[in-house]
Structures are given as structure tokens and as C-alpha cells.
Chain A
């Protein structure tokens, strides 16, 4: 008997990692994306491989997810990471008052954090605010979201997965109360096609609502935009974070010969129509100056905005929505063969994939266990070397 066919909608970090997980478990997988790999939320990323330090004081569950996944990604994609650690920097007395709590919170989440002498921090980071009061070193890293996804998809393809880029989903087809197919239009040829399926995974990020609506269900995803600014010079060796509660402009992530200041946060209606508010750019520069006063003097190389798919719980504002993820089995909404995975962040994509793949396998009666914690990923270049799809 041939294995069940699962269609994953979205070739961002979640969809790519899910395709890899399901393909390793022996399922027949097709990934559909309307554009290039990582052309949505995942691509426009400040590229931080979270240590969990950012969340340990406010959202322990997210922090533990982050450090666990950080350590797994170091094993399965070692060649796709810049691993230079990060610093949490206290600039004000208020920041400093968080230091002991921060160290305790890191310990509680098994994040290895070390209070390092401020003199050493100035040596490591020549542009660090000379008024900085304390620095704590954490195992942050830097990834590249595009190659991150390519590596998952290249490995999935080696296990039989098919990736259809530039395909728009135009209809989710149901028979009775079950999803049985997806109608797609190939933007490269204009041809439409119906792909039969045993189950659909909706991994469309902030577009998950649109896909869910095609199946007649709702998902509580709030597209929440953020602005990032990339400077035309690498100013820091390590990732620099502000030691305080999460806030706008609390991080400067170095990569190659650039540094990126992130991020802001506001709710948007349509993730395809985001205008960058100039005051957000200014806010990032002002906050970035707190970490490194030289920031304002550096030309901007790029600025970008994209919507994250945050899960709404009642009473949350945009900044305080939990950064953890959720998996929805829409059988509870009366539509079977259709699940949504959303929320989370690129650092935790593999864990998100494990969760949704467990659910998919349970629903399809497949006993295979998740193997993505151990299996090293293939070269990201194999994604293209396999030819056009």
C-alpha cells in the first residue's frame, strides 16, 4: 500500500521543517508555496538563533523551546550558523536591576549564561555604549532563513518530497466533511491542477487565515508586523541584546558585514500590504544607539517589514502575545483532514514540525517516530541541484 499523501501549504521555516519531518517518517509529501522558498515571513528575519534569553524572564515556555532547539540546530545544520554567542547589555540602572533575575531565569531554563567583566565586553565589542553597566553572555547565534529552509527541503526531497514553488492555492476541495484535494495555479505556466490528498497542513504563517477560510474554518492568527533596519557595516562581533523586558529595538544582530536592528511590533490586516512607518525606523535607530551610539552614523543598507503569525489569546496586545506555537486540528471545527500550525519563530520551526507531524501521523494511523532531532540535513544547494520543480 502506498503511503498517505500530505500537502503542506507554505515553504517557510515551519512548512519546510514539516515536509522534512513527514518525509523522514515515510509519508508522501508535497509542499506548495505561492513564491520562492522563504519568500514570506521566514525570509525577512533578523536572523537570530535564539538562546531563549530574550524570553526567559517573561515567557519561560518559549525560552526553553528556544534553547532546546538552538542546541538541536547546532547538531543538524552546523555549517549554516554563525556561532559567536550574544550579550545581554545593561545600559541603565533599571536594566541593571534585572541582571540577577535574568541570570536566575536563564538558569531555570537551562540557558548557559555568564556574567562577564564589563572590561572584557568593551574589548569584545569596540562600539559598545561606553556607559554600559553590565553584560551577560548567552549562546545566541545567527542563521540564514533562506538556506535554513532550503536545507530542510533539500533533505525532504532526498526522501521523496515534491516542492511546488510559484503555485497559488485557489481552492481547498472537500468531500463531505473531509478535505480531499487542493486546487493550485502554477504562476509559471498559468495551468491549474487539482492535487488529491489525505491531509493538508496549513503552514501559511500570517496567511494561514486565508487558507483556513478556503476550508471554511477560522484560526486565531493575528498578523503582527515588525520593521527591521540593516546597517551597511558590521558593528558587533556578538549578538547584542538589551537587558530588559522585550521591547522595540531591543537587539542588534550581526551577520557577515552587516548589523540588523530589530524589531517593532504592530497589528496589521493584510500581510501583503505593509507600509514601513518612518517613525518605526527612527525608533530602531534611537534604541540601537543605546547599545552602540555609532549606529546613527552608519548608512542603511536595507529596511524591511513583514508580518509574524502570532496566536491571539483574548486580552493580548501585539508585543505581549506569547511567542510559542500552536497546532489546530480542524476536525474539532467540523472539517477533517486539515490542520494548522502557527505562531512560533524560525528558531523553533523543527519543534513546531515535530508537533504537527505527530498529530498528522496520529490522524493517519502512521506509527513512525520523529527523527529530526538526530538526522543531519543535506546541503542546501541540493535543493536546486535536483532541478526545477
Chain B
């Protein structure tokens, strides 16, 4: 185990005081994740530093921030991925969210969008493993599993962990704060897939088709680039556009 001395430049903001960067040097193991260094700053140097975190394994989505300008989950980001070995590492809060204090942002508007999109955090799952490591897919072919008598289906948490990283990276969000946003639009897409209720689909598609919906997206695909969970919000926004356009053609033919 090797110890690294890492200098962090952390964005500081408290209401009524101009924002600034504070510099802290902490020692962490070479195998540590960025969240461990933030934790060490809090525990050993400054109890007034505020940041969000809970699960430390990319399940809760709360710790999202920007590391040297790029949106990341510090709980799964190793120093070897983001640190050049000498320069200070800069930590900033997410963009496009109101800042509450230091690295803490107000996620209420984001959560309102996800509720409006009727995003449920669990879903019925495919009856095989979602193999994310390519070598394994060669070993075990995805195949349907015969469920035990007492289970009618598998279910899983949605891949989206509501971290807000896509909202922060989205160039459209920066110019239209009412934009429904990548996560919200991806959630609309998923909710449409989950339901057979035509009224619900119509309601959700109307939301996606609205003034601040899919047509505002500049197709920059930044959201898909930074998403730590491979949700591919941009791909889902494109799919929603196709669905909405197809529905329009159907309607015009009926006339």
C-alpha cells in the first residue's frame, strides 16, 4: 500500500459570502477513490465542508460533482483515472443546479422532473444477467432462466440513479433552465415502455413534445458521454423524437 499526498482545490460557497477555492492536502492510499479524500478533508481538517454522499458504490447517486471540470461520481473514481500525479485536483459542484453550500446543490427541481416523468426506481427485469463485462458474455450466453415456483418475475432497480450528472453536462440546460433535461426525458421514454395505458403514454409524450422537451436538445450527446450508469439519455431522446414524429404522421394520415 502506497500513500499519496494529494492537493484538492475545493469550491467553497456559503450564503452571503463570495465563492472561493480552498486548498487542502490529504494523504490517501493509492487505491483510494476521490470520495475518500473529500471524507479525509472533512474528518481531519474542516468540519464546515459540506458535500453529499451515502452509498460509496454508485447506487445512491448523491455524491455527483465535477472533478477537474468533468462530471463524475467520486465514489467510483480512482485517483489514477483523474490525477496527473502532481497538479491540484479541482472539485466543483454540479452545474445547472442552484448551489446550497460548497459542493451541495439543490436537487428539488431535478426530482420534480423525475416525478413528473413518472419514473419508478424499480422495473421488471429481463430473465438473464445484464453482463457488462464483454469477456463474460462469451462464457455465458444471455439466456432465459426458469424462475423458481414462487417468483413470477425478476425485478431490478433502474439503471438511472438520479445523480444529476447528465443535467450538469447538458449544454441545453445551460441556456434553458426549464428544459426537461436528459434524465427526465430518458425517464419518460422508460415510463412509456413500461405501460400499456394509451392515455398515460399520450400524456407523457405530450410532456416530451412540449416547449421544453425533446426538440430543445442540441444532440450534443454530452449526457450519454458522462452518464456513469450507461443509461444513454441522448439515445432515448432521439427515440422519443422518432416516436413523436411517427405519431404525427399517423394522425395526419387519418385526417
Contacts and interface: CB of A to CB of B under 8 A. Distances in A.
Contacts, number: 189
A83 B157 contact: no
Contacts of A83: 155
A388 B100 contact: yes
B82 interface: no
A123 B133 contact: no
A80 B55 contact: no
A272 B43 contact: yes
Interface stretch (A19-27, A102-110, A185-193, A323-331): A185-193
Contacts of B49: 187
Interface residues of B, number: 65
A166 B104 contact: yes
A140 B220 CA distance: 42
Contacts of A381: 111-112, 114-115
Nearest to A379: B115
A210 to B, nearest CB: 13
Contacts of B106: 388
B135 interface: yes
B216 interface: no
B132 A233 contact: yes
Interface string A232-254: 11111100000000000000000
Nearest to B145: A124
Contacts of B60: 38, 43, 144-147
A36 B53 contact: yes
A188 B100 contact: yes
B57 A188 contact: no
Given A256-B157, A278-B31, A381-B111, A120 B146 contact: yes
10 contacts: A36-B51, A38-B55, A124-B148, A137-B148, A142-B157, A188-B50, A257-B132, A297-B133, A381-B115, A384-B111
Given A123-B145, A306-B56, 14 more contacts: A42-B54, A79-B122, A82-B122, A84-B151, A85-B148, A85-B150, A114-B148, A168-B47, A237-B154, A272-B43, A273-B44, A302-B33, A385-B111, A386-B108
Interface of B: 1, 14-16, 29, 31, 33, 43-44, 47-62, 75-76, 100-101, 104, 106-108, 110-112, 114-115, 120-122, 129-133, 135-136, 139-140, 145-148, 150-151, 154-159, 161, 229-230
